[in-house]
Amino acid sequence: MIHRPSIEIEYAMLAPKPFLFERAYNVGKAIKEHQRLEEILKGEGVRVRRLESEIIENAERSEDFRRKLIEYITQNVHFYGKVDEVKAAMQDLKKNLERLDSATIFDYMVLEPSIDLKTDYENRAVYPTVYSNIPLANLYFMRDQQAVADSGVIIGNMKRDQRKKETEITEFLFRNTLGVSNIFKIPSNSHFEGGDFMPARDFSLIGVGLRTDLNGAFSAMHSGMITTDEVVLVENPSYDFSKEDNMVNMHLDTYFNIAGDGIAVTSEYLASRAKTTIYGRSSNGNYERVGETTLLEYMRSKGFNIIDLTIPEQLAYSSNFLTIRDRRILAVDVKSVISRLISDGAFDPVTEDIVKRELPKIGENIFPERNDVSEAGIEYVNAELIELTGGYGGAHCMTATLNRE
């Protein structure tokens, strides 16, 4: 599942940081990058669903679905002003929505507008001031709203207010469009985001840190959706020089990923600092704590070979690739992203100095164009994503896996 970014990201370009973006970027080029991402996935034999297309097309086909969609909009579009004017406006909205095309209704879904009705008594007129509560500019990072586990879907609860509404949209989609019934919703007092979930056949990893908290991790682990032999909670680490809540340790997939059977890609430095607690599945189906280690040692104990990332590579989303199939990945253009981050001044002065000192040491040997990557039998497709990574994520973040083989 993907979502083509549209009008909502234009708001984020006005103030990237408050929208949780790393930097501003060219929206037109970004949309072309996303179109190319979809083309690559389809060319690799992946069935791709687009969020907006699924909702719009189902609204056109099904009167029942369209009714549910309109109900969602009426609950999330708000009017302010005199009581009688607000009441009349809501009544008009319900009638008008019946006449609108489904694409326009979808735009209201992601913009969530509010209208302040101000009365001009002298001219006997009402003037509207339109606000968009929090346009869902991060919605194109489709990984985070949920996690698709082996026995069902876990609908997350996003930590940041800028993203909280996203899970309502994806849950609406799963329940009403995709027909998924086996769904667990993270409680409101817990936080869990899909970028912190990494399944790996007989074990599952859940990152814990600034976005997913312990309550959220435990809720996911005991949801009944995860049935692997072990569930491993990983405390997302950081560099000594890094500032709080930057992309270094936002999610597990910002510094760790699995490229194929027995191959993990990560910063060994970060993975060695990532405290890891292992929970084993008991005979009654519950998970019980069985030990502690580090992420690096745990993966080695499972027989994984490690491809180590340098600081510049990790900061440029090298680990945020999408594994299409065993040892074939869809990666960002890491070289170009590093150059862009430096030229745009995206790093703080300390980080930029470290990156510039590290780059001459690695030269042109930058992930995934490295000898150890090819020697491990890993093939890669360059998805570029130079613009779209400005929202703090790569191909993994931008895709929600619905089915795995």
Phi, psi torsion values for 208, nearest 5 degrees: -125, 130
Is 169 in a helix, a strand, or coil? helix
User: What local confidence, expressed as pLDDT, does residue 256 receive?
Assistant: 98
pLDDT tens digits along 340-394:
999 999 998 999 999 999 999 999 899 999 999 999 999 999 999 999 999 999 9
- For residue 244, pLDDT over 60 is answered with no
User: What local confidence, expressed as pLDDT, does residue 160 receive?
Assistant: 95
Q: C-alpha angle 309/310/311, rounded to 5°?
A: 120
User: What local confidence, expressed as pLDDT, does residue 313 receive?
Assistant: 97
What CA–CA distance (Å, rounded) separates 19 from 386? 18
- For residue 241, pLDDT over 90 is answered with no
Strand-pairing partners, residue 257, are 265
Q: Note the helical H segments in 44-126.
A: 51-61, 63-76, 83-99, 102-111
Positive or negative CA dihedral for 256, 29, 170, 80? positive
- Amino acid making up residue 126: V
List strand residue ranges (DSSP E) for 214-364, in order.
230-235, 256-260, 263-266, 275-281, 287-294, 305-308, 322-325, 328-331
What CA–CA distance (Å, rounded) separates 189 from 196? 18
- CB atoms < 10 A from the CB of 130, how many? 9
Residue 4, sorted as left (phi over 0), alpha (psi -120 to 50) or beta, turns out to be: beta
